[in-house]
Amino acid sequence: MSLPISESKKPDLDKPEHIATFVEAFYARLLKDETLAPLFTDVAAINIREHFPRIEAYWQKLLLGDRQYQRHTMNIHRQLDAKQRLTAENFDQWLMYFIEAADSGFAGENTEKAKRIATVIAGNMRKSLQIEKNSD
């Protein structure tokens, strides 16, 4: 079964330059969010543009097998959580922006893999940080 023409013209997350474009699109969405943006800019106090190469290297490791990224992401998020308690909603929003950015600009095997990995990452972060979903 072939993809619709509009889907088939979208690149996959199969090259470093595609991953870089994805990271830009993802953070363009995320940094407009009034709740999530301050976690990056104020609480973590990172210059997101300077941080992009690390994020790109992380996804190149996960999707392309590149070995450049060697940091431990869980420790980084534990430090952030210690500064300001993260919530299940933070991870849900992060995942929503991730999937939206992936679906809007990319298609293919690696794009689907990235969405699956992001879903697992969000769940693992919540579990490791012992973040419970609020029950209504």
Domain locations in the chain? 13-128
Q: What percent of the chain has pLDDT over 70?
A: 90
73 or 98, which is more confident: 98
User: Binding site: residue ranges?
Assistant: 77
Q: Is the pLDDT of residue 12 over 60?
A: yes
CA dihedral for 62, 113, 13, 1, sign (positive or negative)? positive
Overall average pLDDT of the 31-41 stretch:
93
User: Binding site for heme: residue ranges?
Assistant: 77
Range 13-128 has CATH code 3.40.449.10:
no
Can you tell me the distance from the alpha carbon of 125 to that of 58, in angstroms, rounded to the nearest whole number? 16
pTM value surpassing 0.75: yes
Confidence of residue 136 (pLDDT cuts 50, 70, 90): very low
